[in-house]
């Protein structure tokens, strides 16, 4: 089975459509949340996500933009975008986003572990927005990843929230960084990493709609559970069009400017 893994689209339909056009063949789509927030096309993006997705978890912006948490929990620029999105969402899309599952969610894979596996390895894969232990927790360092890797509910755990492509791996004694190793550029580029069944993983596909790892291109990942590989991808899209939509919507200028910077 090959799963297309998307996260942090943030109402950037231009980036999402570029990803879908470039994505290799896949059997299922797993969405790790923050479908809306920041960007100017929340309804169109929610519609596209619903059309293609088979598994969803909610993100903190999905929660806030549908009134399930307070805008005051965000910085002033993000809070303005939350309030704007609350007004822009149709009742149908708001209701769908409001009822997205809280991670971790466990997709069915072709290779489930044996029944004799220990309790903390009883699942092959989990999907969360933030940490599998706390949907709002940012995993940015080895220190952050230590407890989630130790107590994660699966061997391979996908997460988003940080807008940074990569992740962490552990043999239960040491933790190492998992890097995409994709060079800077302007085209569609990919890098494949082989996963070891003896290790535990936290893997971030990166942000489709608002990367913050220094690369402006839309990010996504492809997981093959038979070959046990993860492919990290970066895809160019029409950033100027996405920026124009944000500015015309009256959202904060910073949300448009940062798209080109990848920060």
Lookup: tokens for 142? 């080895």
Give the DSSP per-residue string, 140-158. Answer: -SHHHHHHHHHH-SEEEEE
Backbone angles phi, psi at 127, to 5 degrees: -130, 125
Mean pLDDT to the nearest integer, 236-241: 98
Residue 117 clears pLDDT 50, i.e. is over it: no
Q: What does the pLDDT read at residue 30?
A: 98
Inter-residue long-range contacts of 140-146, CB under 8 Å, 24+ positions, other chains counted: 140/164, 142/168, 142/175, 142/176, 142/177, 145/170, 145/175, 145/202, 146/175
| Nearest Cα residue to 197 out of 107, 105, 111, 103 | 111
Which three-class secondary structure state does DSSP give residue 75?
coil
Can the peptide bond before residue 205 be classed as cis, meaning omega within 30 degrees of 0?
A: no
Residues β-bridged to residue 170: 175, 200
Inform me whether the pLDDT recorded for 116 exceeds 90. Answer: no
- According to DSSP, residue 230 is labeled E
| Mean per-residue pLDDT, 71-86 | 92
What digits encode the pLDDT tens for the residues 2-51? 999 999 999 999 999 999 999 999 999 999 999 999 999 999 999 999 99
Which percentage of the chain shows pLDDT scores above 90? 85
**Residue 172 vs residues 19, 73, 112, 197: alpha-carbon distances, Å:** 34, 34, 20, 13
b/e sequence 157-175, b meaning 16+ C-beta within 10 Å: bbbbbbbbbbbbbbeeeeb
pLDDT, position 70 = 80
DSSP 8-state code for residue 204: E
Nearest C-alpha neighbor of 161 from the set 218, 196, 193, 203: 203
Sheet containing strand 166-170, edge to edge, reads 123-127, 154-158, 200-204, 166-170, 175-178
Q: What is the pLDDT of residue 118?
A: 40
pLDDT at 89 over 80: yes
CA distances to 75, 157, 177, 207 from 44, rounded to whole Å, are: 25, 29, 35, 18
pLDDT confidence of 111, banded at 50, 70, 90? low
* Average pLDDT of the residues in 108-135: 70
| The pLDDT of residue 114 | 38
200: pLDDT strictly greater than 70: yes
Determine the Cα angle at 19 with ends 14 and 22, to 5°.
125
Of residues 110, 105, 199, the one with CA closest to residue 160: 105
pLDDT digits (tens, 9 = 90+) for 215-229: 999 999 999 999 999
DSSP class of residue 50 equals H
pLDDT at site 184: 85
């Amino acid at each position: 089975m090959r799963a297309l893994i998307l996260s942090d689209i943030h109402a950037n339909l231009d980036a999402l459509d570029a990803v879908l056009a470039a994505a290799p063949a896949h059997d299922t789509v797993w969405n790790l949340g923050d479908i809306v927030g920041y960007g100017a096309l929340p309804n169109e993006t929610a519609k596209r996500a619903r059309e293609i997705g088979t598994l969803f978890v909610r993100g903190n912006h999905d929660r806030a933009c549908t009134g399930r948490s307070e805008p005051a929990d965000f910085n002033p620029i993000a809070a303005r975008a939350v309030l704007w999105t609350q007004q822009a969402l149709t009742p149908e899309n708001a209701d769908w986003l409001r009822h997205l599952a809280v991670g971790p969610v466990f997709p069915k894979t072709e290779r489930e572990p044996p029944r004799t596996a220990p309790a903390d390895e009883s699942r092959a894969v989990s999907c969360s927005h933030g940490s599998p232990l706390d949907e709002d927790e940012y995993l940015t360092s080895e220190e952050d990843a230590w407890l989630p890797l130790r107590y994660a509910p699966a061997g391979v755990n996908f997460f988003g929230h940080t807008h940074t492509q990569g992740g962490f791996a552990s043999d239960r004694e040491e933790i190492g960084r998992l890097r995409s190793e994709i060079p800077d550029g302007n085209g569609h580029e990919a890098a494949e990493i082989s996963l070891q069944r003896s290790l535990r993983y936290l893997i971030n596909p990166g942000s489709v709609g608002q990367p913050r790892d220094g690369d402006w291109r839309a990010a996504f990942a492809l997981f093959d559970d038979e070959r046990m590989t993860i492919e990290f991808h970066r895809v160019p899209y029409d950033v100027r069009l996405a920026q124009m939509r944000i500015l015309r919507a009256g959202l904060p200028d910073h949300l448009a400017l940062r798209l080109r910077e990848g920060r």
